[in-house]
């Protein structure tokens, strides 16, 4: 089973998504429960800190991989063995409590992106360092963002003093949180119409997490190629994975240069999805 199929099955298997307050409350409880295990607590605290920033209207910081260490049970056993003598009921009780909590904690950490999608409509994880890297590349050139969703990319660019026209069709507001809680000003325009309207006013185009399987990305790429102007086309997504259409990836020319390396300096995977920043021709 490939990773994309696995992710789809996991999402399909989910029952009612956890309410935001219960999800965060569970992480807070686990942070206390695993207080003596710094490797685990660090992961939990990173997720909690990111949530706190987003709830306050700020972009979060870069996340580490939110995966429990492979040897976590050995670490728990060693720690308890150093604290309690063999056969001590308290040590046995803690062992049972901690090891029984691991599967749910693991699922919570692996599901952090689902929480961000359900709560904030944030699909591409746009951290403050990523926004700064994007702004450094754009360097004052007028920019159009299409399919902006709630506007995290455009917010980050505007926070870094870039001129951005943010647009989105708002087609997803009835299905999820995308577009319901904009964090910056967004003009209601589909991607093709946005490009047609602003093509002569911008030098850079940004498209983050175009919906999986829908060829609107390929239609936009054809418009860009047909235009009598050279643009830098920044695409954030997972090649042949969770984002974009197959026809787009089949036809996109992906650049590999120093700019791409710099754009991905802080855009690092934190779960099973391995999206990245591309420059596309």
Count of the separate structural domains present in the chain = 2
Do 137 and 81 lie in one domain? The reply is no
Write out the two tokens for 175: 């299905």
Do 90 and 163 lie in one domain? The reply is no
Do 154 and 116 lie in one domain? The reply is no
Domain that holds residue 113: 3-120
* Integer Cα distance of 162 and 153 in angstroms: 11
* Integer Cα distance of 250 and 258 in angstroms: 23
Could you tell me the CATH number of the domain that includes residue 147?
3.40.50.150
* Integer Cα distance of 170 and 182 in angstroms: 11
What is the per-residue pLDDT for 174?
57
- Spatial strand order of the sheet with 187-188 comes to 187-188, 164-168, 143-146, 204-208, 232-237, 276-280
Do 155 and 259 lie in one domain? The reply is yes
DSSP 8-state class, residue 61:
P
pLDDT tens string for the chain (281 positions)? Answer: 344 444 444 443 344 444 557 999 999 999 999 999 999 999 999 999 999 999 999 999 999 999 999 999 999 999 999 999 888 899 999 999 999 999 999 999 999 999 999 999 999 999 999 999 999 999 999 999 999 999 999 999 999 999 999 999 987 655 555 556 899 999 999 999 999 999 999 999 999 999 999 999 999 999 999 999 999 999 999 999 999 999 999 999 999 999 999 999 999 999 999 999 999 99
Closest to 121 measured CA to CA, from 151, 145, 144, 146: 151
Predicted TM-score (pTM) of the model is 0.89
Number of residues written out for the chain: 281
Handedness of CA 157, 160, 165, 167 (dihedral sign): positive
Do 144 and 50 lie in one domain? The reply is no
Do 154 and 113 lie in one domain? The reply is no
């Amino acid at each position: 089973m490939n990773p994309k199929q696995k992710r789809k099955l996991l999402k399909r298997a989910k029952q009612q998504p956890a309410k935001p307050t219960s999800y965060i409350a569970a992480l807070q409880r686990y942070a206390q429960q695993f207080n003596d295990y710094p490797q685990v607590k660090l992961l939990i605290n990173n997720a909690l800190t990111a949530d706190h920033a987003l709830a306050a209207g700020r972009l979060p910081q870069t996340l580490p991989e939110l995966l429990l260490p492979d040897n976590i049970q050995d670490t728990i056993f060693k720690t308890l063995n150093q604290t309690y003598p063999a056969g001590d009921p308290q040590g046995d009780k803690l062992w049972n409590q901690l090891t029984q909590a691991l599967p749910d904690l693991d699922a919570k950490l692996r599901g952090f992106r689902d929480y961000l999608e359900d709560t904030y409509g944030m699909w591409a994880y746009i951290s403050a360092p990523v926004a700064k890297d994007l702004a450094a590349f754009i360097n004052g050139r007028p920019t159009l963002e299409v399919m902006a969703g709630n506007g995290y990319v455009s917010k980050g660019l505007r926070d870094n003093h870039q001129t951005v026209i943010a647009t989105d069709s708002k087609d997803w507001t009835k299905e999820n949180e995308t577009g319901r809680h904009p964090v910056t000003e967004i003009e209601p325009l589909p991607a093709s119409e946005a490009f047609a309207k602003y093509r002569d006013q911008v030098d850079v185009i940004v498209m983050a997490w175009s919906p999986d399987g829908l060829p609107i990305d390929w239609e936009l790429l054809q418009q860009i190629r047909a235009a009598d102007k050279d643009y830098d086309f920044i695409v954030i997504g997972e090649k042949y994975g969770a984002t974009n259409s197959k026809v787009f990836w089949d036809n996109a020319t992906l650049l590999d240069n120093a700019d791409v390396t710099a754009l991905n300096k802080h855009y690092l995977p934190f779960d099973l999805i391995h999206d990245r920043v591309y420059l596309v021709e």
